[in-house]
Every structure is written in C-alpha cells, then in structure tokens.
C-alpha cells in the first residue's frame, strides 16, 4: 500500500513539473512567435557588442519596440 502512495506522489511531482514547463514554454511561444509582427519601420543597422545577459535583454527590448530605432544585425563578443 505504501509503495503505491509513493509512486503516486512521484507521478504527481513529475506531472506538475511537466505542466509548469509547458506553461512557461507556451507563454514564451505566444509572446515571441505568435504575437510577433514584422518590422513596420526598420531602424538603423546595429551591431550589439557583447553577448551576455544584458545584451540579450537589450535585444528583447529592441524587438518589443518593433525595431523602430535599431535593427540588430548580430552580436560581437570577444570572450571564448
């Protein structure tokens, strides 16, 4: 009896984890792919220097604004 309770508990944890992951992925998919519109007005061609967390946030902010001011062409990073 106790073995069945433990297996049900483990199954609930796994299902909860899968559902939380699916929720996060679906939100990101909606925000970044489905709701995404093409650039209405393309801004200045831009090369982002660095490839860390701050530069990723900068790229997301540029994308949220619809590429009106800047149009990123890529990242330039010297770190290996």
Q: Is pLDDT above 60 for 36?
A: yes
pLDDT tens per residue across span 67-79: 888 989 889 887 7
Domain boundaries, the chain: 1-36, 41-80
52 Ramachandran zone, left/alpha/beta (phi>0; psi -120 to 50)? beta
State mean pLDDT over 17-40. Answer: 78
Q: Which pLDDT belongs to residue 18?
A: 92
Q: Which pLDDT belongs to residue 27?
A: 84
CB crowding 22-37: b at 16 or more within 10 Å, else e: eeeeeeeeeeeeeeee
Q: Which pLDDT belongs to residue 43?
A: 85
């Amino acid at each position: 009896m106790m073995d069945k309770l433990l297996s049900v508990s483990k199954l609930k944890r796994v299902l909860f984890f899968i559902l939380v992951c699916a929720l996060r992925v679906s939100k990101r998919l909606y925000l970044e792919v489905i709701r995404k519109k093409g650039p209405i007005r393309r801004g200045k061609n831009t090369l982002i220097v660095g490839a860390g967390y701050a530069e990723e946030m900068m790229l997301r902010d540029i994308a949220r604004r619809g590429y009106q001011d800047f149009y990123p062409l890529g990242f330039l990073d010297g770190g290996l």
